[in-house]
Structures are given as structure tokens and as C-alpha cells.
Amino acid sequence: MEGLYRGAMSPRRAGFRMPAEWTRHAATWVAWPSHEELWQENLAPARDAFVRLVEAIGQGETAEVLVPDDEQERLARAAFVHVAPGRVRFRRVPVGDIWLRDTAPIFLEGPGAEVATVRFAFNGWGGKYVLEHDDRVAARVASLAAAGREFAMPFVLEGGALDVDGEGTLLTTRQCLLNPNRNPSMSPREVEDAVADAVGCEKVVWLGDGLLNDHTDGHVDTVARFVAPGRVVAMEPREADDPNRDALRALLRELGDAVDARGRRIEVASVPSPGRVVDEEGRVMPASYVNFYVANAAVVVPTYGSPFDDEAVERIGALFPGRRALGVDARAILSGGGAFHCITQQQPGSGGS
């Protein structure tokens, strides 16, 4: 492997970029929910949702499943009885929790379809959730993937804070990326340049705030996602008591004025917001339909027992013709802070089918 990032040889300067999620994957990296003390009564339903996600991934690519020990691997193997042989591979890596979108490396493609990884400093989402092992997951996954070059960037970034179209444009939010709990010594321009350099983009589209009570301080993958070059999906509030009504309307206005790296005005497709989704104690949860995951054969859409679930699954599925749209109850996963995009990390390549 070639050396780690040293300032001059960034991923973009070396000819690498982050592909769009809908391009072909060789594999998807996930982590088995295993920490009873974190999940408590939600552990079993979280595992049920996780299994359905892995089954969908296994229809078209390999699921690389991180497990911390023999016992958890035994439990996971027993759960994946409906996944085709060879479509699940277990990797012995300890994790703090399952949020690999943020703790695993981001995979890049370069000249000759070479695959590389880029990782960042990780500080537990601004110091709020600092769990043992999470700050070492990216290096361990990069080593296991043996993808080629490894880049390590000297600033804090989580993968869920950005979304790309594969053609030079990146979406992010000011609330997260410019939060002083991430990179307080960097100016907004320095943050923009560093992130674009790390994932091979030329244009950053800045949005405002994320969802209420979002543990991540407004990751963009809960409010807006590219679904094709020049096209973004976002949520529209349908009910007067939607806790994110104002933020979502503001975001739709910002997207309506946005232009991508190729000079195209971005087209916005809308899906409903799930509305007010609360936990057992009545607290508003950051429920989002756009935290879907695009696998080779399926798009897995989180559902929340909302009257808008079916419409959201149908509309998102229509944005990805040729893939099966699968709605999976994500309320147990959401109790930990996110949904299906938050717990996946795609590895590009031709290994899937």
C-alpha cells in the first residue's frame, strides 16, 4: 500500500473520487447489533430489521458483517438463514456500535477502477457518544478490505455528513460540518476545501439544518440525497404538527436554488415526511425516509408506522428503476440514532451481481 495522506497527495489530487451510491458495489460493510447495554429492549427488533437489510444486500452483493467475538458470530450466522451461501462474510472487528456510515472508511475509485479508502479523525459525533473501538474501526476495515491505497485525513468528518452524485457535486449541512464541536480551528472555506479534496468533488452545495433531536447535529443523509446526477430527493411536511416542518421547507427552498458542479440547476423530487414519530417517553425522534440504502439489487427504505410509509416506499422505489423497493420497520434502529443508510458503507467494484 502507498503511504497515508501527507498534505500534498490528497485523494482528489491522486485522481480518486467517491462514486455515487447507485453505482455497482462489490460489497457492503455492516456491523451486527451486539451491545445489550446500548440497545436493551430494542436489541431483538433491531436485529430483526438488520437481518432484513442484509437479506436485501445479499441479493446482489456480499455483506461484510463485523462481529466482535465467537458468540456474536454464532448468533448472527443463525439469523442469516435466508441469505444465499457466500453472500455473507464475517469479520472479527470490535465496534462501539453499528454506525458504519460514520466509523468505517469511505471507499473511493481512481484511475483504472482502482479502489482506495479514505478515513478521518472520529470524535464521537462532537464528543456526545464516545464508545470504545469506534475510533479504530476505519483503519481496521481499510486493512481488511485491502482495496489499495489508504488515505487518512487530519480532520473530523463522518460519512453521513455528506452525499455525492459521482459527477463532482457534494451535499452537506452547515449545522453539522461547520459545528464547532467538529473542527473548531478550521474556517468554513477550509472545511469546504478539505472535504471536497477528500472525496474528489468540485462543488459543495450547502444546506441548513437537519432534523430535530438528530444525534449527529444534522447529517445530510437524513434530509436530502442524490438519486441521480442533477437530481435530489428531499422530504416535504404534510402535517401541521410535523416537528421538522420549518426546517424541511427551508431545505426545499435552498435546493430549489442550487446548481451542481456541471452547471445544472438541481431537480428536486419530494417524498412525504413521516411526521411526528416519538419514542416510548414521547420524545420526538429524527425519523427520515431519505435515510434509505441503495444496494445492487434493492433499495431499503426505513418505515416508522406512519400513514405515509407506503407512499414513501413507492416514491423512493420509483427513483431507482430495476431495484426492488423494500420498506423495513426502522423504529428499533432509530432508537439508537439513525436508520439504514447510517449503518451501511458501500465498497465499489464489480464483485456484486
User: Which residues have a catalytic role annotated?
Assistant: 342
C-alpha dihedral sign at 28, 248, 226, 10: negative
Rounded to whole angstroms, the Cα distance separating 18 from 4 reads 17
User: Which grid coordinates are listed for 2?
Assistant: 502507498
Tell me how far CA of residue 160 lies from CA of 18, 37, 171, 251, 254, in angstroms: 13, 24, 10, 17, 19
Which residues make Cβ contacts (< 8 Å) with residue 303, sequence separation at least 6? 274, 289, 309, 312, 313, 327, 328, 329, 330
Assign 254 to helix, strand or coil.
helix
d(CA 153, CA 15): 16
- The alpha carbon of residue 59 and the mean position of all alpha carbons in its chain are separated, in whole angstroms, by 20
Contact 209, 219 (CB under 8 A): no
- The Cα 343–Cα 102 span in angstroms is 8
Contact partners, residue 158, CB within 8 Å, separation at least 6: 101, 102, 103, 120, 122, 125, 176, 216, 219
Percentage helix, strand, coil for the chain under 3-state DSSP, each rounded to 5 = 30, 25, 45
Q: Round to whole Å and give the CA distance between 174 and 185.
A: 16
Closest CA to 260 of 167, 175, 191: 167
Which grid cell sits at 209? 439544518
In the structure grid, which three cell numbers stand for residue 89, read together? 462474510
Name the residue with cell 462489490: 26
